[in-house]
Amino acid sequence: MFDNLSDRLQKIFDGLTGKGRLSEADVDVAMREIRMALLEADVNYKVVKQFVARVRDRAVGADVMKSLTPGQMVIKIVVEEMTELLGGTASHLALSGRIPNVIMLVGLQGSGKTTATAKLAFLLRKQGKRPLMVACDVYRPAAIDQLEALGRELDIPVYRGEGTDPVAIAKAGVKAAIDQLRDVVIVDTAGRLHVDEDMMNEAAAIRSAVKPDQILMVVDAMTGQDAVNVAAAFAAKVDFDGVIMSKLDGDARGGAALSIRQVTGKPIKFASFGEKTDALEPFYPDRMAKRILGMGDVLSLIEKAQEVGAAEVDAETAERLKKADFTLDDFLVQIRQVRKMGGMGSILKSLPGAGKLKDLEGEVDEGALDKVEAIIFAMTPTERAKPNLINGSRRQRIAQGSGVAVFDVNQLLKQFGETRKMMKQFQSLSGKGKRRMRFPGMPGM
């Protein structure tokens, strides 16, 4: 979503860091370009005006102008101000001590409320909660069926109630959660195609009936400034505590995410980067700012890797990896972890200098991971454990069994051997100083 904005800002930064000294005129030129980049990204014009003014006031200060690296100092200021624009610090979901906690989701029809309900329930369950989803959208065809289908997929119960009164269904849903010993209730309310009095009155009635601990508004990031205007209307009539920003993986300009905190005063608590139920993440303003400015998001990448690794790698496998004595089955686990982290393309985008890696992203063949899996599955358990046993005739058999050429089997075994060799080099680094290392190509690169 922020690719075009990131490209523009990185070019501006390259121009600043290419100068040994900065004059006030240089700063003014950069500020004009930043203003145009933000306006083209559909950021609210008042927000842009305030942002640029704050950055300029700090950038023409003595600390910057007399710095040995004034361009880097300006970039540091932009990062700090962008972080503040997005909310400053992370705003986490605030739940009370009562059982059950009630979370109410509001928003327009099509914003992704029902999917966000399931994603939030999945995220809370990973945190040790026992959620119940309550389907109160009695107007949209198949909305309740959609939520029930998601509930079955996640093995999380859904309360659909009886009748067509959403207020009564919400109250009965909270009672059902108490009876089922569920500690969190997530209420999926109805939306409309646009803001109207009926929707606002219904949301207010549900709020009065169930007294939610948190009201979250689901905002479609792809609708740009319209999303900000809708959020402002909700903030005025049905107060809410925070925002779930959906569809941040889309190709729109992204101005809503950069404007909504300043316009409504409400923090973004969660961001959704895909359709899958595990695609909801807590929102960190500092990480998002660095991501937009092409500095990557290594912390989120590490957290995702740790989460995937904890689920996949058992103690025995971890010990083999530690000794650099892992098998092709372990290699397969690593490939699956890369997939769960969004694939090589997603990982590249999280690295610092992501904008400069765009040419490399075009060389990433995610389908190559399918080929690697097929080759490993065509091997016997003994061959996976001891790849050295795989001679010419075995390679021919594996190639036929996986539908690939013998060359592909040879390439995989070569990559595996180089990876194992590289890990042994890592082991030998301890206490022996630095050593030059050659990194093998990952499958798909």
Upper half-sphere CA count for residue 328 (Cβ side, 13 Å): 26
61, 101, 157, 264, 439 from 160: Cα distances, Å: 60, 18, 10, 32, 54
For residue 420, pLDDT beyond 80: no
Cα pseudo-dihedral 5, 11, 15, 17, rounded to 10: 80
Instruction: Please state, for a pLDDT cut of 70, what percent of the chain lies above it.
Output: 77
In CATH, which superfamily holds the domain spanning 101-292?
P-loop containing nucleotide triphosphate hydrolases (3.40.50.300)
Among 7-21, 66-80, 373-387, top mean pLDDT goes to 373-387
Torsion region of 386: left, alpha or beta (phi above 0 gives left; psi -120 to 50 gives alpha)? beta
* Cβ contact 128:182 at 8 Å: no
Q: State the pLDDT at residue 157.
A: 94
The domains of the chain are located at 3-85, 101-292, 298-429
Instruction: Please state, for a pLDDT cut of 90, what percent of the chain lies above it.
Output: 24
The CATH classification of domain 3-85, taken from the options 2.60.40.1180, 1.20.120.140, 3.30.420.40, 1.10.10.10: 1.20.120.140
For residue 186, pLDDT beyond 60: yes
Give the confidence band of 234 by pLDDT, cuts at 50, 70, 90: confident
In CATH, which superfamily holds the domain spanning 298-429?
Signal recognition particle, SRP54 subunit, M-domain (1.10.260.30)
pLDDT, tens digit, for every residue of 105-162?
A: 998 887 888 999 999 999 999 889 999 999 998 888 788 999 999 999 999 999 988 8
